[in-house]
């Protein structure tokens, strides 16, 4: 508690100049910001920008795949697109989006004035644009972007051109940003809760972020280690991943996936948190099995460290190891199933209404569960040997990442937009955005299951003729999905500029502190005196 | 960090109770009333959690050995 008290003083100290009724303005408001709301806003806009950049890359991929043969791009550039689409969407779009939610919401939901370390918060954010710039400028290096896949496997990554060095440096910077963000979130949640707000009374969103932050602190250094070893293999004569020098390329895969599997949950768990706020609010019932949800989330986080090699069934491993990872992976479905059950039970006999946030939360619930089931299919070793590196895997993880994480982020944005901006978005346009996204998402990705089952490999710019129809359908869906997101941008900008004034609590079922104790729009400093929780 | 506050006077948990708590976490099912009955130090949960995780790995490996015999 000592640190929190000291810090509390600090917050008031450096913030006193805006107590006199004016906020810092102009560009410097954003560059020097230590305000959790401004930083949250920057995270969200940054992630949306990266979402568009990664989305354009996706559209280049899908346009090339509209027909067999090479029409639009060359294979090297295609490989570079699949690589940076993955890296930018994972590290530049989805993760920062949820950090943006954490920044905006955690202080408000626990009754704190701001994050524990506001200056570090500023640095966490401002590390992101240079990293993004590195990933984008990598395209213009001699030899083009590094077409190594987002997993950056050796020996491709140890042999790639100079773009790889920019990519490695970008991953380092993104990792540092994530670790600092996590330290901030952990400290804020553990030290700055309002009196009486015990851990088990926190909104589930805060719990999911507490657990995610620990995951990030645990695995980001592992990723940094993997890419640093790649860097020293490339330039400093080491042979970590070079069999000729006594190293082992499979070692890279083990290290990468020891990071990579928890990373899946780093993305999914905050999404669970958002959905766990939205579903009860529109069911007008408290979350069913709150304690179970907390325990299940912790359990998923722990189990996520013990299943990494299910990504590597075809890399070569003893049958004992294959069986271990297969059994352990299928068991992770149990706590995940508990969560899905709890969301359904929350809605059971509730007074349901279906505003846009609820629609996206339900879209998440259906489609994430579908993505979870295809994950179970892939966890079965002999099946995975058949489906590994096919479009079935691409379909599977896009159900988890897009219909899971992205839909939940949309749910959260529509849910909290009134609190953030003080204005209501246009409900009809929001619903239109949902239906367009839902339909085009499935048009894009459902058919990819069939392509994968028929044997179409991922990460190729050309394919056999028999895959043409499903690829055409998928490409049409991708353009539809991409263009639908411009509607989302329009809805948000329209809301900010000319939305109707939002009431303090537009959702009658919302019950966390930001709705019950703060006016709309939320004040510049959330809680200057902490609320007392009974 | 705050301890766990409950309505009726909660008591300190025994090792078996913490183990039960961790195992129910692995399943993902826990009654709130059960949770509120006990005071559990974070260190207890971490130690028992690590042990139980190791136990989980050993159990799965034993099953694999059994299957392959």
Check: CB of residue A264 under 8 Å from CB of residue A339. no
* Residue A190: C-alpha distances to residues A74, A110, A131 (Å): 51, 10, 30
- A310 catalytic? Reply is yes
Q: How far apart are CA A403 and CA A442, in angstroms?
A: 9
Residue in A33, A182, A187, A276 annotated catalytic: A276
B7 pLDDT band, cuts 50/70/90, is very low
- A47 CB contacts (<8 Å, ≥6 apart)? A92, A93, A94, A95, A96, A97, A100
Q: What DSSP state is assigned to residue B38?
A: E
Q: What local confidence, expressed as pLDDT, does residue A3 receive?
A: 40
Along the 534 residues of chain A, how does pLDDT read in single tens digits? 334 443 443 444 444 444 445 678 888 999 999 999 999 999 999 999 999 999 999 999 999 999 999 999 999 999 999 999 999 999 999 999 999 999 999 999 999 999 999 999 999 999 999 999 999 999 999 999 999 999 999 999 999 999 999 999 999 999 999 999 999 999 999 999 999 999 989 999 999 999 999 999 999 999 999 999 999 999 999 999 999 999 999 999 999 999 999 999 999 999 999 999 999 999 999 999 888 888 888 888 888 999 999 999 999 899 999 999 999 999 888 888 889 999 999 999 999 999 999 999 999 999 999 999 999 999 999 999 999 999 999 999 999 999 999 999 999 999 999 999 999 999 999 999 999 999 999 999 999 999 999 999 999 999 999 999 999 999 999 999 999 999 999 999 999 999 999 999 999 899 999 999 999 999 988 898 999 887
**Residue contact B35–A200, C-beta within 8 A:** yes
Q: Are B28 and A335 in contact (CB under 8 A)?
A: yes
> How many whole angstroms separate alpha carbon B31 and alpha carbon B9?
17
User: Cα–Cα distance between A91 and A83 in angstroms, integer?
Assistant: 12
B59: closest CA of chain A, how far (Å): 10
The residues with which A501 forms a beta bridge, in sequence order, are A423
Residue range of the domain that includes A292: 33-516
Based on the residue annotation, tell me whether A276 is a catalytic residue of this protein: yes
Could you report how far apart the first and last alpha carbons of chain A are, in Å? 20
d(CA A97, CA A40): 9
User: Do A338 and B29 lie within an 8 Å CB cutoff?
Assistant: yes
The ipTM (two decimal places) reads 0.79
| Integer angstrom CA distances of residue A148 from A161, A256, A261, A322, A425 | 10, 14, 19, 26, 41
CA A395 to chain centre: 17
**CA A229/CA A147 separation, integer angstroms:** 19
**Active-site residue, selected from the candidate residues A33, A47, A167, A178:** A178
Which one of B5, B34, B64 has the shortest CB-CB distance to A324? B64
Inside any domain, residue A183: yes
A338 to B28: CB separation less than 8 angstroms, yes or no:
yes
Domain containing A456 — which CATH number?
Answer: 1.20.210.10
The CB density around residue B28, as the number of other CB atoms within 10 Å, is 24
- Please tell me the number of Cα atoms within 13 Å of A342 on its side-chain side: 29
Query: What pLDDT, in 10s, does the model give residues B11-65?
Result: 777 888 888 888 887 777 777 777 777 777 778 888 888 888 899 999 999 999 9
Q: Is B58 helix (H, G, I), strand (E, B) or coil?
A: helix
pLDDT of residue A26: 86
Alpha helices in A290-406 (DSSP H): 290-303, 319-331, 333-347, 356-379, 381-387, 391-398
Q: What's the pTM value of the predicted model, to 2 decimals?
A: 0.91
The token pair that represents A453 in the structure block: 């089952």
| Residue extents of the structural domains in chain B | 11-68
- For residue A393, the SS3 value is helix
Q: Contact A223/A212 with Cβ under 8 angstroms?
A: no
Using a CB-CB cut-off of 8 Å, the residues of chain B touching A292 are: 28-30
Q: What is the pLDDT of residue B38?
A: 75
Burial of A178 (0-12, 13-18, 19+ CB in 10 A): buried
Q: Give me the residue from A190, A291, A327 closest to B30, CB to CB.
A: A291
Q: Which residues of A96-118 are buried (b: 16+ CB within 10 A; e: fewer)?
A: bbbbbbbbbbbbbbbbbbbbbbb
Cα distances from A355 to residues A279, A421, A422, A432, in angstroms, run 11, 18, 18, 11
User: Cα–Cα distance between A51 and A401 in angstroms, integer?
Assistant: 12
Q: How confident is residue B8, by pLDDT bands cut at 50, 70 and 90?
A: low
The answer to whether B60 contacts A327, with C-beta atoms less than 8 Å apart, is yes
Catalytically annotated residue among A8, A284, A458, A517 = A458
- Count up the domains in chain A and report the number: 1
- Cα A235 to Cα A193: distance, rounded to the nearest angstrom: 48
In a domain, A168, yes or no: yes
Q: What are phi and psi of B12, to 5 degrees?
A: -70, 145
């Amino acid at each position: 508690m000592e640190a929190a008290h000291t810090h509390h003083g600090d917050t008031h100290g450096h913030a006193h100049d805006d107590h006199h009724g004016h906020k810092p303005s102009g560009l410097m408001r954003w560059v020097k910001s230590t305000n959790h709301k401004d930083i949250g806003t920057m995270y969200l806009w940054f992630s949306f920008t990266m979402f568009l950049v990664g989305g354009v890359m996706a559209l280049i991929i899908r346009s090339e795949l509209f027909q067999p043969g090479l029409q639009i791009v060359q294979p090297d550039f295609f490989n570079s697109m699949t690589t940076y689409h993955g890296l930018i969407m994972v590290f530049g779009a989805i993760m920062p989006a949820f950090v943006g939610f954490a920044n905006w919401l955690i202080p408000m939901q626990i009754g704190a004035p701001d994050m524990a370390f506001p200056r570090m918060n500023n640095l966490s954010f401002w590390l992101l644009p240079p990293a993004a710039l590195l990933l984008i400028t990598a395209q213009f290096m001699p030899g083009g972007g590094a077409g190594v896949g987002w997993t950056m496997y050796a020996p491709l990554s140890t042999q790639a051109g100079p773009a790889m060095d920019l990519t490695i440096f970008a991953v380092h910077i993104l990792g540092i940003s994530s670790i600092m963000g996590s330290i901030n979130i952990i400290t804020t949640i553990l030290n700055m809760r309002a009196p009486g707000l015990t851990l088990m009374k926190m909104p589930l969103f805060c719990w999911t972020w507490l657990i995610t932050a620990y995951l990030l602190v645990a695995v980001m250094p592992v990723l940094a280690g993997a890419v640093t070893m790649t860097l020293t293999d490339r330039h400093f004569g080491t042979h970590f991943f070079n069999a000729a020098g006594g190293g082992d390329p499979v070692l890279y895969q083990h290290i990468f996936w020891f990071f990579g599997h928890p990373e899946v949950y780093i993305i999914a768990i905050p999404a669970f948190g958002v959905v766990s706020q939205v579903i009860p609010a529109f069911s007008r019932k408290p979350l069913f099995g709150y304690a179970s949800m907390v325990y299940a989330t912790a359990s998923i986080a722990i189990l996520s460290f013990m299943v990494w090699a299910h990504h590597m069934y075809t890399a070569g491993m003893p049958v004992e190891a294959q069986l271990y990872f297969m059994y352990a992976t299928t068991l992770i479905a149990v706590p995940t199933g508990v969560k899905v059950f709890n969301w359904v039970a929350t809605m059971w006999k509730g007074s349901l209404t279906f505003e846009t946030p609820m629609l996206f939360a339900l879209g998440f619930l259906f489609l994430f569960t579908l993505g979870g089931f295809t994950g179970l299919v892939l966890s079965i070793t002999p099946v995975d040997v058949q489906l590994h590196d096919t479009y079935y895997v691409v379909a599977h993880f896009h159900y988890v990442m897009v219909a899971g994480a992205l839909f939940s982020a949309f749910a959260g944005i529509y849910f909290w937009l009134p609190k953030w901006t003080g204005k209501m978005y246009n409900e009809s346009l929001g619903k239109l955005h949902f239906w367009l996204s839902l339909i085009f998402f499935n048009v894009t990705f459902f058919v990819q299951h069939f392509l994968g089952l028929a044997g179409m490999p991922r990460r190729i710019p050309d394919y056999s003729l028999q895959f043409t129809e499903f690829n055409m359908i998928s490409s049409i869906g991708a353009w539809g999905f991409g263009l639908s997101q411009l509607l989302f941008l329009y809805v948000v900008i329209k809301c900010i500029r000319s939305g109707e004034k939002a009431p303090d609590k537009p959702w009658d079922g919302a019950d966390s502190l930001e709705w019950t104790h703060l006016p709309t729009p939320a004040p510049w400093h959330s809680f200057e005196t902490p609320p007392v929780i009974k | 960090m705050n301890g766990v506050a409950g309505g009726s006077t909660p008591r300190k948990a025994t090792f078996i109770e913490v183990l039960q708590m961790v195992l129910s976490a692995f399943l993902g099912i826990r009654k709130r009333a059960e949770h509120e009955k006990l005071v559990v130090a974070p260190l207890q949960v971490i130690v028992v959690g690590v042990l139980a995780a190791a136990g989980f790995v050993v159990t799965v490996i034993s099953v694999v050995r059994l299957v392959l015999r």
